[in-house]
Amino acid sequence: MDNTTTINDIQFSDAAMAEIQRYISHYPPDRKKSAILPVLHIAQAEFGGWVSSQVQDKVAEILGIAPIEVYEVATFYTMFNLKPVGKHVLEVCRTGPCMLRGADQLIEHLEHRLGCKVGETSADGMFTLKTVECLAACGMGPMLQIRETYYENLDPDSTDKLLDDMRNE
């Protein structure tokens, strides 16, 4: 998606539109804006793991609200990526209990293996490494999330195997 992309170029798949309509039906007819977070999640999954301003404009059009209303939400919630990301986004929990069980070491290990720092994407475009705050896996740390899956109780070997599996996916 580049700067020449317009809102007319953004088209959700039929399955995604059906899911969007299902969410919209959950709220009173005059409260379609309530569906903004579910729709942004669907949009992010649909368009390469991030929500460009054009995608956000499309979300506003679908919900019948002003684009600024989408921008202010998309920038508030940390789950929405506002820049392009790699094929796989690794989100490592770095908070309290995970730190006690080795999150810092896991992050160092991943930086070394991926050749990039937190916030960056590996040179091959496969992985974006992020740190996040508490993923409700406090007894199972260190852990990371990739899309909708949690990988818990990680050590260097299991982490390496995970990366290999993702590369071969």
Partner 1 sequence: MGRKILTEHINVPGINTLEVYRKMGGYRSVEKALKTMTPEEVVEEVKKSGLRGRGGAGFPTGMKWSFLAKPEGKPRYLVCNADESEPGTFKDRVLMEKIPHALIEGMITSSYALGARTSYIYIRGELMFVLRILEKAIAEAYASGLLGENILGSGYSLDLHVHPGGGAYICGEETALLESLEGKRGNPRNKPPFPAVQGLYACPTVVNNVESIASVPWIVNNTGEEYAKIGVGRSTGTKLISAGGHINKPGVYEIELGLPVEEFLFSDEYCGGIWKGRQFKAIVAGGSSVPILPAQLFLKTAEGTPRVMTYESLSEGGFVSGTMLGSGGFIVMDDTTCIVRNTWNFSRFYHHESCGQCSPCREGTGWMEKILHRIEHGHGHMHDIDLLVNVSKQIEGNTICPLGDAAAWPVASAVRHFREEFEWHVKHPEAATQPGAVYRGAEVASLV
116 is in an annotated binding site: no
Tokens representing 139 are 């007894």
| Residues at the site binding partner 1, with contacts judged by CB under 8 A | 26, 28, 31, 33-38, 40-41, 63, 65, 69, 72-73, 76-80, 94-97, 99-101, 132-141, 145, 148-150
DSSP element (H, E) containing 90: strand 88-93
CB of 101 to partner 1, least distance (A): 7
CB of 90 to partner 1, least distance (A): 14
Number of other residues whose CB lies within 10 A of the CB of residue 74: 22
Tokens representing 125 are 């475009």
CB of 161 to partner 1, least distance (A): 21
Q: Are 98 and 151 in contact (CB under 8 A)?
A: no
134 is in an annotated binding site: yes
Name the residue nearer to partner 1 (CB basis): 10 or 19. 19
93 is in an annotated binding site: yes
Helices (DSSP H) in the chain: which residue ranges?
14-24, 36-46, 53-63, 67-74, 96-100, 103-114, 156-167
Name the residue nearer to partner 1 (CB basis): 2 or 169. 169
Sequence ranges of the binding site for [2Fe-2S] cluster: 93, 98, 134, 138
